[in-house]
Amino acid sequence: MRQPLVAGNWKMNGSVASVRELLAGIKAGVAGVPRCEVAVCPPFIYIPQASAELAGSPVFWGAQNLSTEAAGAFTGEIAASMLLDFGCTYVIVGHSERRTLYGEDDDVVAAKFAVARAAGLKPILCVGETLGEREQGITEQVIARQLDAVMAMQGAAVLADGVIAYEPVWAIGTGKTATPAQAQEVHAFIRGRVASQAPEVAAGLRILYGGSMKPGNAPELMAQPDIDGGLIGGASLVASEFLGICQAAHESV
Ligand code: 13P
């Protein structure tokens, strides 16, 4: 049995005041969704605040990115050890916004995954195709390439107890959600590809869906056999919406 995980990717949003309010709202509701693991990924600068405000609560926190380097002259970067220093459990790697806006290729993403794993963080590996790639019928090729880059660097065992987020780029922040059937098809493909190298790892792998997930569409998505939770953007900035998605995950098991 895989415990569902719902993680909020706040992206570049928030202020000290709004973070305080959002975390208070999530903390107030999290006791109602005990079968769902809940995590938030604030911008780096609000991680100390999250760690202080979430200490003692069941809510985990993490980062949206990390450096491939351990320390040194890398202006503007944040190392895995720094995330651990502030109690991070998770770190998102390979989000499509990092890949497209900041030029992170499969090798960089695989290196970040490896560094996070080695440090004891739990990387959430994002994969997903663009609209053009879906229309060309190469969705599975794209996902396979993104996934294989990580497995090639370290072997499929590196995904043990891992988390992958399938985020079709065309569904991110657009209000367009993959249908439950479309998402399930890709989730099953991901699990199958990992299973071809490591069946036990694949069985325990949590595969989250991301892309315009809301309380309204979450129950149907969560009901799919290979969807184990969500990576939530916009709706994670409003406590009631985020908790509504957590509720759907809680009820799906
Ligand atoms: P939205 O939920 O805003 O579509 O964003 C999804 C996402 O990119 C999460 O990482």
Band (pLDDT 50/70/90 cuts) for residue 175 is confident
CB atoms within 10 A of CB 83: 25
Domains and CATH numbers, the chain: 5-251 (3.20.20.70)
Instruction: Round to whole Å and give the CA distance between 219 and 53.
Output: 29
Q: Which of 98, 212, 241 maximizes ligand 1 atoms within 8 Å of its Cβ, making it the mutation to test the pocket?
A: 212
Nearest Cα residue to 148 out of 138, 159, 137: 159
pLDDT greater than 90 at residue 177:
no
pLDDT greater than 90 at residue 164:
yes
Instruction: Round to whole Å and give the CA distance between 19 and 6.
Output: 18
Determine whether the shortest distance from the Cβ of 95 to ligand 1 is under 6 A.
yes
For ligand 1, what atom is nearest to the CA of residue 234? 3
Instruction: Round to whole Å and give the CA distance between 79 and 135.
Output: 38
Q: Fill in the amino acid letter for 5.
A: L
pLDDT for position 176: 86
pLDDT greater than 90 at residue 7:
yes
- Collect all residues with Cβ–Cβ distance below 8 Å to 151 and sequence separation of at least 6: 158, 159, 194, 197
Q: What is the pLDDT of residues 77-125, one digit of tens each?
A: 999 999 999 999 999 999 999 999 999 999 999 999 999 999 999 999 9
The dihedral built from the CA positions of residue 85, 47, 93 and 195, taken in this order, carries a sign that is: positive
* Spacing, Cα 238 to ligand 1 middle (Å): 13
- Collect all residues with Cβ–Cβ distance below 8 Å to 170 and sequence separation of at least 6: 129, 130, 131, 134, 176, 211
User: Torsion angle, CA of 12/15/18/20, rounded to 10 degrees?
Assistant: 110
- pTM comes to 0.98
* Spacing, Cα 125 to ligand 1 middle (Å): 14
pLDDT greater than 90 at residue 72:
yes
* Spacing, Cα 127 to ligand 1 middle (Å): 12
Determine whether the shortest distance from the Cβ of 125 to ligand 1 is under 6 A.
no
Question: b vs e for 114-128, b when ≥16 Cβ sit within 10 Å of the residue's Cβ?
Answer: bbbbebebbbbbbbb
Q: What is the pLDDT of residues 126-155, one digit of tens each?
A: 999 999 999 999 999 999 999 999 999 989
Q: What is the pLDDT of residues 195-246, one digit of tens each?
A: 999 999 999 999 999 999 999 999 999 999 999 999 999 999 999 999 999 9
- Residue whose CA is at the smallest distance from ligand 1 atom 1: 233
Instruction: Round to whole Å and give the CA distance between 134 and 174.
Output: 16
* Spacing, Cα 73 to ligand 1 middle (Å): 32
Determine whether the shortest distance from the Cβ of 65 to ligand 1 is under 6 A.
no
- Collect all residues with Cβ–Cβ distance below 8 Å to 242 and sequence separation of at least 6: 6, 8, 26, 232, 235, 236
pLDDT for position 63: 98
Determine whether the shortest distance from the Cβ of 149 to ligand 1 is under 6 A.
no
Band (pLDDT 50/70/90 cuts) for residue 14 is very high
For ligand 1, what atom is nearest to the CA of residue 231? 9
Determine whether the shortest distance from the Cβ of 128 to ligand 1 is under 6 A.
no
Nearest Cα residue to 26 out of 14, 227, 179, 102: 14
Encoding tokens for residue 150? Answer: 């990580």
Band (pLDDT 50/70/90 cuts) for residue 1 is confident
pLDDT for position 36: 98
What's the rounded mean pLDDT across residues 163-190? 95
Whether 69 and 46 have beta carbons less than 8 Å apart is answered as no
Q: Fill in the amino acid letter for 203.
A: A
Q: What is the pLDDT of residues 48-64, one digit of tens each?
A: 999 999 999 999 999 99
- Residue whose CA is at the smallest distance from ligand 1 atom 2: 233
Determine whether the shortest distance from the Cβ of 233 to ligand 1 is under 6 A.
yes
